[in-house]
Structure 1
Amino acid sequence: MRTEALRELLDGRWAELRRDSLDLLGKLAPVHDLPREEYRAWVLEQLHALAAGGHPLIGFPTEYGGKGDVGGSVVAFEVLGFGDLSLMVKAGVQWGLFGGAVQALGTEEHHARYLPGIMGLDLPGCFAMTETGHGSDVQHLRTTATYDPAAQEFVVHTPDAAARKDYIGNAARDGRLAVVFAQLVTGGEEHGVHALVVPIRDGSGAAMPGVTIEDCGPKAGLNGVDNGRLTFDHVRVPRSALLNRYGDVAPDGTYSSPVEGRGRRFFTMLGTLVRGRISVAGGAGSATKKALAIAIRYGDRRRQFTRPDTGAEVVVLDYLAHQRRLLPALAQTYALHFAQEELVSALHDVSDDRGQRELESRAAGLKAVATWHATHTIQACREACGGAGYLAENLIAGLKADTDVFTTFEGDNTVLLQLVAKGLLTSYRDHVGDLDPWGMARFVADQAVGVVIERTAARALIDRLVSGSSDALLDRGWQVRQFEDRERHVLEGLARRLRRASPENAFDVFNAAQDHVLHAARAHVDRVVLEAFVAALERGTDPEVTALLGKVCDLYALSVIEADRAWFLEHGRLTPQRAKAVSQAVNELCGQLRPHARDLVDAFGIPEPWLAAPIAG
């Protein structure tokens, strides 16, 4: 009963769709150890099965046969993360990146021409943005699309080796079309990066004239995805190939756009593609849940060493060290699940520019934190399963290999956190102003008062602890205040450092503050995640489940504080004694949650065929 009640809360807003997607995934049969070409063929076959089952229809417009449920499409993608990750990524390339770009950047003409074939998989395609020499720096891609008014065609060209499109999913084997991002040139003037639909193969599978296709070859993981390289040698496409929602070229070569300014237009275009970044965070979360489910099931029955008092062998999950490996990670996985649910709802409901900017920032931060969490947690699960975790049949090694790239695709995590921090600084500037001398004096005075108040509050907490109130660390209000205070203090300190910058040394000042920048962004995301968990607790209707998840939330909050306790100590938020108390509270929470660990992972609802690891039986 507890597992089902937990699952109902986890399923959230798209509960019915989530379960329907799980049912569809459960009908697909896992395979293991196929040679690369056979594996790719199997993934394409399963992709057709998803298409037949209606998976791609969820997020596309109703007028073209879809269901118009943008948030639901991300949830359905997340569910695929419980299965084969090559299949999940290839589905994301076809319907999320390729189809999503046509939908977001194209107009009705493009929608009518392409979307039915994209949904039905009759038009397999690619998303050709990344170049060998430019990954994160999309604004300075070197591929060109030069308009020829006499022929009313664009000439797509790769000017040098660094401009080759690289790591492009679906390119090496199956793609027929590519949405190619290139610098648009007309009348001798550049108008920035735009996207065009470019055929790369004919109906027989041969490369189109002027298109060179190479296979990226074996990768560390995701070898069911046919990543390739694309080079264009003056390839001509009609004027209608331009996805022209945000920038159009008239027959005579005149350029027009509803968005003023090259920079603003670029970020507006990229902002429409935020669904891919959100989807990666969700897929990483599902892979993390799967690894935890396997490791905790194994730890719940694997025995090692004996108790001296009874001589009985001990289940390894009864060891505190083993709990420490897995249960704080499980708590963070729950926290990220609820933050992801809020993010998907924001994507589904966003309706104005301000909401879009907030969505993009939150998506960047959550994607970075969720994918790093996946990498660290899956490694911990591998180690927690010993040699058995290293065997391919037990699935964790495959999860480790397949998710490793998540930290760098759809945005390098370090770059994404820089974007989050820059957004925070912009908001801070808008709130505080330019900090003229009078404003700066007022700001410093406010800070001094704030420090007194904060340390007084910390002193009051210590007094409560000393007086025997051992549950003070579990006070939800105190936990939230610690997260808020850390975020505010780190951001204010960063703003002071960057205020020293001038046009001449701006890069050097910002570069020297990179550690501070990343800390500010991470503190912000941690606070957002904790607040999402607290909001989920408030939605709970089952007292037993709410109480259990309250302990999970406590473990998440105190684990974060423990991990950054150097900061809390350095800034007077914790004394050395209280820092020790935080670690002791984490230990106690691990012990209290240990009997519920199996319920907590079973509530993820992962189809049993996709948990068919011998150690998870």
Structure 2
Amino acid sequence: MDNVLRTLLDGRWADLRERTRKRLGVLEAPPPGVDRERHRDHVLRQLRVLASAGHSGVGFPVRHGGDGDFGGSVVAFEMLGFGDLSLMVKAGVQWGLFGGAVQALGTGQQHERYLREIVELDLLGCFAMTESGHGSDVQHLNTTATYDPDTGEFVVHTPDPSARKDYIGNAARDGRMAVVFAQLVTSGDRHGVHALLVPIREQDGSPRPGVTIEDCGEKAGLNGVDNGRLSFDHVRVPREALLDRYGHVAEDGTYSSPVEGANKRFFTMLGTLVRGRISVAGGALSATKKALTIAIRHGESRRQFARPDGTEVPILDYLAHQRRLLPALATTYALTFAQEELVTELHEVFGGDSDNDQRKRELESHAAGLKAVATWHATRTIQECREACGGAGYLAENELPQLKADTDVFTTFEGDNTVLLQLVAKGLLTGYRDHLGDLDALGMARFVATQLVGAVIERTPVRALLGGDLHDRTWQLKLFTDREEHVLDGLVRRLRKAGEGDAFEVFNNAQDHVLRAARTHVDRIVLEAFVAAIERCPDAATAELLDQVCDLHVLANIEADLAWFLGHGRLTPARAKSVTSAVNRLCAELRPRAGELVEAFGVPMEWITAPIAQR
């Protein structure tokens, strides 16, 4: 059964996952207690090992030294999350963000010139989007790139301290070039945010003229990644430095684009970079799986207090301990199956020749929602694993403190989770419906008021939800769908009631409702992914086990939101009590299978160095 579970979890890219496990086996962990500079040296050496092994080229075109497997590049990144997370993030910066931006936003000549060097690590680079004053609001960043027709160059400039590029991986030490996002200006006209390739260092490692580089210094985690700050003082780059797939500047300064409208062009450009957001969700899940493997192995071997016959009890036999770990384990399974579906969709949408804008927008929305939920789940679960291991879990040798520190930032990079859920909710409210134009708050509220009230899918009658078996999958799906529809309908009515109020106040006053609408939507999608995985399971015994795991995921979710289900008449008080009883019972039933369930994650044992996890 272990092999069936592993194969199901590994999914479409099972062979790539297995190859990556073997590559991880030859990598070296950073020395214990290593200082920041030595950690950075170590990570760069290991990055070169990965490049030599062919890991770097998975998602790049074959003609540029890659494998041409777009979805596989996310899987390859995700698998690095079982090892040193600094290495995972630095690989993501080099090949996912820097290389990915050149691949997605550049054109043929730029691909020919740079991609192979990026794949082979002959050109190290960084992704300079975030500014000190503009993190999530990329559309209004302040860095400028002004075209000078007299010289045929762009002048890249940081107009004020708030426009400094901040927290840029690979910038502090190793990067030689940056993809810089700036407001493009030609002939006095602004054309919105575009990306340019800007050299930032000379061959000897010193900053290029006009480029100021600062080191972000010590961080809470990920100190093997050299995060830095970049500022530009009228730095000139040739016209060919513009990554011009979506915006071209002729020699005389004439601007042209295949995408009409600055807003649509902006969202189209950012949409091509969605792979990074999906990768972060996958990396967070890998770290979560590693933490659960450590904590559950410890829970099976650690004994405390004695039974009447004098034998000491494994702490995982205690219901309280099971409740700390097993619902989180069940949800990790659910999110893994949802992640697999998302990567498959990414591969089909961006790995081929699809021009389906609606499908792309749905993918971007799902990616935003799953990234938020998966990274919050990682933060909570790793903390619970640490506490479940007591004082031993606080020791650096047992890995959990480093996992906590390294994953904490995942909730805010590649998009702050709260902002991402707002994007999901906006997608739900409008369906985008070709509304890639002005998505301001008041316009959203007015559109909703006139278009969506009464358009929510007809809901299952409440009386149909009050009865039935808690373990009935149809009932569970109806309950999750009903909650999502009810919350969305309530949000629509709330915005309609706000009417013609102040644009900011209308949407700001409903943000609690906005976030709940997005979260319930993601919960439903995740459940559907779990159900689909069970249906394609080829082994009846494994499917039966997964049925129990899915039940635990569902009922723990319901239990966590009992206030809503009771308050909105979806559960009676008696049914609510039965939910808690069912969670307890499922924890007891799954306890003997807990070790089997974490072993199926396939975390390479070379990377489980925690003494408390050894058997």
Q: What is the TM-score with the length of structure 2 in the denominator? A: 0.95
Identity of aligned residues (%): 71
Alpha carbons of structure 1 residues 438 and 343: separation in structure 2 relative to 1, 3 Å = closer
Unaligned ranges ≥5, structure 2: 436-445
Shift of 1:455: 2.5
Q: Is contact 1:26-1:609 (8 Å) kept? A: yes
Partner residue in 1 for 2:462:
455
Alignment of 1:429-440 (within 5 A): none
Partner residue in 1 for 2:148:
148
Alignment of 1:300-315 (within 5 A): 300-307=300-307, 309-315=308-314
Q: Is contact 1:130-1:138 (8 Å) kept? A: yes
| Residues 535-565 of structure 1 deviation map (CA, whole Å, 9 limit, x = unaligned) | 0000101111111011000000111111111
Partner residue in 2 for 1:16:
15
Partner residue in 1 for 2:90:
90
Alpha carbons of structure 1 residues 600 and 516: separation in structure 2 relative to 1, 3 Å = same
Partner residue in 1 for 2:530:
533
Q: Is contact 2:143-2:157 (8 Å) kept? A: yes
Alpha carbons of structure 1 residues 236 and 294: separation in structure 2 relative to 1, 3 Å = same
Between the aligned partners of 1:614 and 1:591, the Cα distance in structure 2 is 26
Structure 1 window deviating more from structure 2 (422-431 vs 264-273): it is 422-431
The secondary structure found in structure 2 opposite 1:473 is: coil
Between the aligned partners of 1:555 and 1:443, the Cα distance in structure 2 is 33
Partner residue in 2 for 1:591:
588
Between the aligned partners of 2:77 and 2:42, the Cα distance in structure 1 is 19
Partner residue in 2 for 1:465:
none
2:556 pairs with one of 554, 559, 567: 559
The secondary structure found in structure 2 opposite 1:81 is: helix
Q: Is contact 1:29-1:609 (8 Å) kept? A: no
Partner residue in 1 for 2:438:
none
The secondary structure found in structure 2 opposite 1:134 is: coil
Partner residue in 2 for 1:266:
266
The secondary structure found in structure 2 opposite 1:203 is: coil
The one-letter code of the counterpart of 2:8 is L
Partner residue in 1 for 2:6:
7
| Residues 117-151 of structure 1 deviation map (CA, whole Å, 9 limit, x = unaligned) | 00000000000000000000000000000000000
Alignment of 1:503-522 (within 5 A): 504-522=501-519
The secondary structure found in structure 1 opposite 2:182 is: strand
Partner residue in 2 for 1:469:
none
The one-letter code of the counterpart of 2:22 is D
Between the aligned partners of 1:380 and 1:438, the Cα distance in structure 2 is 44
Alignment of 1:277-288 (within 5 A): 277-288=277-288
Alignment of 1:375-394 (within 5 A): 375-394=379-398
The secondary structure found in structure 1 opposite 2:77 is: helix
Between the aligned partners of 2:449 and 2:309, the Cα distance in structure 1 is 72
Partner residue in 1 for 2:276:
276
Alpha carbons of structure 1 residues 556 and 437: separation in structure 2 relative to 1, 3 Å = closer
1:481 paired to 2:485:
no
Between the aligned partners of 2:112 and 2:399, the Cα distance in structure 1 is 41
Between the aligned partners of 2:452 and 2:241, the Cα distance in structure 1 is 52
Between the aligned partners of 1:78 and 1:383, the Cα distance in structure 2 is 25
The one-letter code of the counterpart of 1:78 is E
Between the aligned partners of 1:75 and 1:366, the Cα distance in structure 2 is 15
Shift of 1:310: 1.4
Give the RMSD, CA atoms, in angstroms.
1.8
1:334 paired to 2:333:
yes
The secondary structure found in structure 2 opposite 1:101 is: helix
Between the aligned partners of 1:17 and 1:545, the Cα distance in structure 2 is 23
Shift of 1:311: 2.1
Between the aligned partners of 1:259 and 1:438, the Cα distance in structure 2 is 27
Alpha carbons of structure 1 residues 391 and 107: separation in structure 2 relative to 1, 3 Å = same
Partner residue in 2 for 1:204:
204
Between the aligned partners of 2:78 and 2:612, the Cα distance in structure 1 is 24
Q: Is contact 2:449-2:492 (8 Å) kept? A: no
Alpha carbons of structure 1 residues 430 and 91: separation in structure 2 relative to 1, 3 Å = closer
Shift of 1:575: 0.7
The one-letter code of the counterpart of 2:3 is E
Q: Is contact 2:449-2:495 (8 Å) kept? A: no
Q: Say how many residue pairs are matched.
A: 599
Alpha carbons of structure 1 residues 117 and 92: separation in structure 2 relative to 1, 3 Å = same
Partner residue in 1 for 2:194:
194
Between the aligned partners of 2:137 and 2:111, the Cα distance in structure 1 is 28
Partner residue in 1 for 2:569:
572
1:414 pairs with one of 412, 418, 427: 418
Between the aligned partners of 1:124 and 1:428, the Cα distance in structure 2 is 37
Shift of 1:417: 0.1
Unaligned ranges ≥5, structure 1: 462-471
Q: What is the TM-score with the length of structure 1 in the denominator? A: 0.95
Shift of 1:33: 1.5
Q: Is contact 2:466-2:572 (8 Å) kept? A: no
The secondary structure found in structure 2 opposite 1:131 is: coil
Between the aligned partners of 1:358 and 1:439, the Cα distance in structure 2 is 18
Shift of 1:458: 2.9
Between the aligned partners of 1:436 and 1:150, the Cα distance in structure 2 is 51
Q: Is contact 2:430-2:448 (8 Å) kept? A: no
1:402 paired to 2:409:
no
Alpha carbons of structure 1 residues 439 and 538: separation in structure 2 relative to 1, 3 Å = closer
Shift of 1:454: 2.3
Alignment of 1:220-369 (within 5 A): 220-307=220-307, 309-350=308-349, 351=354, 352-369=356-373
The secondary structure found in structure 2 opposite 1:180 is: strand
Q: Is contact 1:300-1:316 (8 Å) kept? A: yes
The secondary structure found in structure 2 opposite 1:300 is: helix
Partner residue in 1 for 2:495:
498
Shift of 1:435: 7.8
| Residues 443-492 of structure 1 deviation map (CA, whole Å, 9 limit, x = unaligned) | 79x97xx5xx522213443xxxxxxxxxx100000011110000000000
Between the aligned partners of 2:498 and 2:111, the Cα distance in structure 1 is 47
Partner residue in 1 for 2:439:
none
Q: Is contact 1:30-1:609 (8 Å) kept? A: no
Shift of 1:503: 5.2
Alpha carbons of structure 1 residues 560 and 34: separation in structure 2 relative to 1, 3 Å = same
The one-letter code of the counterpart of 2:227 is N
| Residues 572-608 of structure 1 deviation map (CA, whole Å, 9 limit, x = unaligned) | 0001111110011000000000000000001111111
Alpha carbons of structure 1 residues 145 and 569: separation in structure 2 relative to 1, 3 Å = same
The one-letter code of the counterpart of 2:357 is D
The secondary structure found in structure 1 opposite 2:178 is: strand
Alpha carbons of structure 1 residues 275 and 565: separation in structure 2 relative to 1, 3 Å = same
Q: Is contact 2:465-2:479 (8 Å) kept? A: no
Shift of 1:250: 0.5
Shift of 1:510: 1.0
